[in-house]
Amino acid sequence: MTTKIDDLINKMELARNRLNANMEKAIPQVDIYPSWNLKHLMDHITGWDELGVSAFRTHSKGETPEMVVKFGIDQYNAESVSARKELSLESSRQAYDTARVELLKAVREMPSEELTQKFPAPWGGMCSVASVLRILISHELEHAQHIEEKLNNPTDSD
């Protein structure tokens, strides 16, 4: 299983590199999504990485992660971005980078037998470390693709 996790970590790094490359081309003040600019997107992704860190560390202790996403993903996203509204763009970028380092650290420090165990996901249902990593990879690739589309067609609206 460690090899599979290592492969997923590599894919996470590739997805993050693609997202970062596209974010570097975007104008920070311009909306990428309706009412979300680059800072909001970083704050959004930071929230999911921090949620993963919390869930993984709680699972590593043999405890059940708290159900954090109680009122749906859209509500969680809105609250996560709103909680970071006072951060500067630079501070948001720092939190975004730090959250990813902490997420990967939590995965690497997890005992190998816990990497395959199912545990209650903070958004409901059951998950494994691998399934969460696959979700995060897909999530970032989706955002990277959206930014590419916005950069290639800046006049298109959502």
How many angstroms separate the CA atoms of 79 and 84, rounded? Answer: 9
> Does 158 have pLDDT greater than 70?
no
- ∠73-83-46 over CA atoms, to 5°? 65
Q: Give the closest residue to 47 by CA, choosing from 57, 39, 58, 35.
A: 39
pLDDT at 157 (0 to 100): 57
Return the CATH class of domain 2-152: mainly alpha
Provide the pLDDT confidence category of residue 65 given band limits of 50, 70 and 90: confident
Distance CA 73, CA 68 (A): 10
Compare 1 and 90 and report the one with higher pLDDT. 90
Domain ranges of the chain: 2-152
pTM beyond 0.95: the answer is no
Q: Per residue in 79-131, pLDDT tens?
A: 999 999 999 999 999 999 999 999 999 999 988 888 888 999 988 899 999 99
How many Å apart are CA 74 and CA 93, to the nearest integer? 22
Question: Which has the higher per-residue pLDDT, 144 or 30?
Answer: 144
